[in-house]
Chain A
Amino acid sequence: MSDLLLTPEVRFQKEIENRRKKDGVELSVLNLGPTHPATHGIFQNILLMDGEKVIDGEGTVGYIHRAFEKIAENRPFYQINVLTDRLNYCSSPINNTGWWMTVEKALGIEIPKRVQYLRVIIMELARIADHIICSSVMGVDTGALTGFLYVMQYREKIYEIYEEICGARLTTNMGRIGGFEREWSETAWKKIHEFLDEFPAVWKEFEDMLTRNRIFMDRTIGAGAIDAEKAMGYGFTGPNLRAAGVDYDVRVAIPYCSYEDFEFDIPVGQNGDCYDRFCVRNAEVWESMKIIRQAIDKMPDGPYHADVPEYYLPPKEEVYNNMEALIYHFKIVMGEIPVPNTEVYHAVEGGNGELGFYLITNGSRVPYRLHFRRPCFIYYQAFTDIIKGRSLSDAIITMSSMNVIAGELDC
């Protein structure tokens, strides 16, 4: 039996003994997690240390595994949306929208241009919220708490926009098959404009504080570096891959939701280290704001949802007065929507990479199989490889720069 199949405790104990016999060096085992402040979520790394240096490590994940793929096999499509909220909970609207687009692709629904633009706005706001957290937490892990608290106020403003659009803040459960549940209010638009007016100065200030900061640069440049070849092999996507210099972005490679209508750049890094990841995320925030502005300027007229009465709940007053609406309402609520027998893979550019939904339906009310391609589950396996031979403090900053979200990791 290969040693790798042992539990990490037993495996590292063996290595400690071997090393002691070999040259008398005393190695030690360190438990990083499951509830360590630097993991920002519940997952564990068992590290074999030589003093301050990481010799080997093993990630043990699954502490908040909730069997979403199993639960999804027993839920109608619109009830699966709440499960997707809880994947990458820093940018739930992206997950929600990705899920609706998967379903719409399977059902063959055409989405009006205006709905697509609204979705682009909300997804880019979510991306900004996601990057705000990741970049500012990198500051926290290198000892700069102020920037974090400062920009957090603006994540709060994004949450207020969500609240105005869908009523919820963190787990948004936003949208329906075909569009949004209601028209965006005046207040929502006002808040979006306020955010676009105020946030650039704040983000500039945040970047000024850290980007050319001597301490921050010393801590992050060269730490946790991964080259492009390796990153692709490990299935990296999103900002982490782009930091290594590969310009793959689902929004451009396989455009969805009319992303092809907008002008924006894909920022790339060079060395794939923590500093590059930080810079790529920060630059993406500016690109996201650019996209939102363009979407607002070009916003076409039209309804806020597609005309698909079989799938989209009719307004309540119609239900009381109109026979068809009553029938559709009843059928949708009872889960009696027509579902074809098909297979769909749809990917969106999530906050931390390519978030894919692989849906197999067999004509029944529920998915036959639903698989989430969670970007951070796939790239997190490279973590122990990246930190080998580096110091513990590098490991911590590498972990926060990779933007590993426990909810998405464990699914």
Chain B
Amino acid sequence: MSLTNEIIQNTLSQVFTPKVENFHLLHDILTFEVKPDALYEVIQFLKTDASMNFNFLTDVCGVHYPDYEEERQFCVVYHLHNWIDNIRIRIKSYLPASDPSIDSIVSLYPGANWQERETYDFFGIIFKNHPQLKRILNMDEMESFPLRKEYPLEDQGRTDKDDRFFGRTGPNC
């Protein structure tokens, strides 16, 4: 019997409730939320369980929601793909603004390494037990996390251009 979204939802709810919630279908991809402290176990289960077989990590990325409540300001989104039954799922884990940290899944999928580094680089989300959590695309000395919403793009029409406004002074070079 091939795997369906209902089976995934039922199995996960049985094993992990109350750590998994809010199952819904978004453009054909089953999407659900996992509490950050259970994320590693959920993904490990999805990868290793014989009926689940999510053998491929498609994508990891971060999202910043400054308008949400304090507990849900950051989100890490994982796309997993089961190549045997050809089914995709999307896992979201919301993190608090005060401590945006989550377990790394590099030990499950080595390919998560650079993707988690990228997420750290742009959002400042800490991946615990990551082997090499340092910046990847930006320079090491940078202090800000540029994809957070509090860093706007520079106004294209400004006339008072000055190095200070490019962030070229100080540690943010």
Contacts and interface: CB of A to CB of B under 8 A. Distances in A.
Interface stretch (B96-104, B130-138, B157-165): B130-138
Contacts of B57: 235
B114 interface: yes
A105 B27 contact: yes
B83 A248 contact: yes
Interface stretch (A69-77, A175-183, A321-329): A69-77
Interface stretch (A88-96, A114-122, A192-200, A352-360): A352-360
Contacts of B122: 69
Contacts of B86: 253-254
Contact of B58 (A2, A71, A356, A377): A356
B59 interface: yes
Contact of B136 (A62, A67, A71): A62
Interface string B50-66: 00000111110101100
A287 interface: no
A234 B27 contact: no
A7 interface: yes
B108 to A, nearest CB: 9
Contacts of A4: 131-132
B137 A369 contact: no
A61 B137 contact: yes
B92 to A, nearest CB: 10
B59 A343 contact: no
A67 B146 contact: yes
Contact of A378 (B29, B111, B139, B146): B111
A236 B109 CA distance: 11
B115 A5 contact: no
B1 interface: no
B31 interface: yes
A2 B27 contact: no
Contacts of B31: 343
A232 B56 contact: yes
B56 A342 contact: no
Given A62-B137, A356-B58, A253 B113 contact: no
Interface in B57-115: 57-59, 61, 63-64, 77, 79, 83, 86, 88, 90, 109-115
A70 B153 contact: yes
A265 B111 CA distance: 27
Given A70-B147, A381-B113, A65 B26 contact: no
B140 interface: yes
B79 A235 contact: no
Interface string A225-254: 000001011111000000000101000011
A345 interface: yes
Contacts of B64: 369
Contacts of B151: 70
Interface string A323-358: 000000000000000000011110100000010101
A70 B146 contact: yes
A356 B88 CA distance: 13
Contacts of A360: 63
Given A234-B111, A342-B26, A343-B26, A410 B137 contact: yes
B117 to A, nearest CB: 9
A371 interface: yes
A2 B56 contact: no
A169 interface: no
B79 A233 contact: no
Contacts of A234: 110-111
A354 B58 contact: yes
A293 interface: no
Given A2-B132, A410-B137, A71 B153 contact: yes
B156 to A, nearest CB: 10
Contact of A373 (B58, B83, B140): B58
Given A233-B110, A248-B83, A411 B137 contact: yes
Contacts of B114: 377-378, 380-381
Contacts of B83: 246, 248, 253
Contacts of A236: 111
A172 to B, nearest CB: 25
Contacts of A369: 61, 63-64
Nearest to A69: B147
A268 B88 CA distance: 23
A342 B146 contact: no
8 contacts: A61-B137, A69-B147, A70-B147, A106-B27, A235-B58, A343-B27, A345-B58, A381-B110
Enumerate the 4 nearest inter-chain pairs by beta-carbon distance, A residue then B residue, closest first. A235-B111, A62-B137, A4-B132, A371-B61
